[in-house]
Amino acid sequence: MKKYTLILLLVMSNIIFAEDNKKQAKPEDKPTASIDCADADNCFTTAEELIKNNDFKQAATYLQENCETNTHGKSCTELAELFFDAKLGAQDIQKAKKYHQIGCNSSSLKSCFTLGTWYEEGNIEGIVKNISQAKEFYNLSCEKDYGDACWKIGTFWETGVNKVQGQKTPDRAEHLFRKSCKFNSAQGCFSYAKILEEGLYGASRDRNEALTLYQQSCSLGLKEACEYADVLQETINNKQ
């Protein structure tokens, strides 16, 4: 009898042990798959897909690896925006700034432009308004044909904010607005159209070209330009 009792206890112990092992082997306890960022572009594409699926935490893992190991500028920018937009918990301005700076140094023109706006406006926690610093970031972007950055610098020349020269230089503004429009800045096209419509800053007046630029600006998403295009179109039609 004792022998049978001992066998029964051994069997029950094995069953309990097996059940405990099943409970411990939960899916979430499995080791996380390693991040493959040997190919920087593929790594960034993977992160983008994860963002589309709202898996921001896993996306951040790929972006951080790609940013810090491969100095992939777009990954740094995307990671900075996740921190700024509070997609990884509470908004973290310092980390957003850190990764935008790395991104800018890694040829992400969007990061350079973003830092420029922060220093121009001075309304971001920990960022003191500094126009000279803003211009440096805008220049970095504009030199590599980032349209909106060229438009920003153009507004400095137009309004006299350019403290290095200490005076308005509208002819420089015209050149920068024209360049910014070439690289699809809605604001740049709009500003250049206004110059041509009125013949400002020594430019030849050309309302037909201005209309084309207003329409281009409108197609790029600037609602105000759509309204200007309608008004100018009506003016041109009435004069024919």
Domain range 42-144, CATH architecture: Alpha Horseshoe (1.25)
pLDDT greater than 50 at residue 26: no
The confidence score (pLDDT) of residue 136 equals 96
DSSP 8-state class, residue 239:
H
Mean pLDDT of 130-136: 94
Mean pLDDT of 121-126: 91
pLDDT greater than 50 at residue 6: no
Query: Between residues 239 and 142, which one has the greater pLDDT?
Result: 142
Q: CA 236, CA 132: separation in Å to the nearest integer?
A: 42
| Whole-number percent of the chain with pLDDT over 90 | 75
pLDDT greater than 90 at residue 53: yes
Which residues in 32-166 belong to E strands, given as ranges? none
Query: Between residues 9 and 84, which one has the greater pLDDT?
Result: 84
109-119 per-position pLDDT tens digit: 999 999 999 99
**Do the domains 42-144 and 145-240 sit in the same CATH topology, yes or no?**
yes
The confidence score (pLDDT) of residue 24 equals 44
pLDDT greater than 70 at residue 11: no
Domain boundaries in the chain?
Answer: 42-144, 145-240
Most confidently predicted of 20-34, 156-170, 178-192: 178-192
pTM, rounded to two decimals:
0.80
Q: CA 151, CA 154: separation in Å to the nearest integer?
A: 5
At 104 the three-state DSSP class reads helix
Mean pLDDT of 151-176: 79
pLDDT greater than 80 at residue 240: no
Assess contact for 177 and 192: CB atoms under 8 A: yes
Nearest to 137, CA basis, from 150, 124, 125: 150
The mean of the pLDDT values for the chain is 87
205-234 per-position pLDDT tens digit: 999 999 999 999 999 999 999 999 999 999
Transcribe 128-174 into DSSP letters. ---HHHHHHHHHHHHTTT-HHHHHHHHHHHHHT--TTTTS--HHHHH
Q: CA 75, CA 77: separation in Å to the nearest integer?
A: 5
CA dihedral 85, 86, 87, 88 (to 10 degrees): 140
Assess contact for 76 and 67: CB atoms under 8 A: yes
Domain range 145-240, CATH architecture: Alpha Horseshoe (1.25)
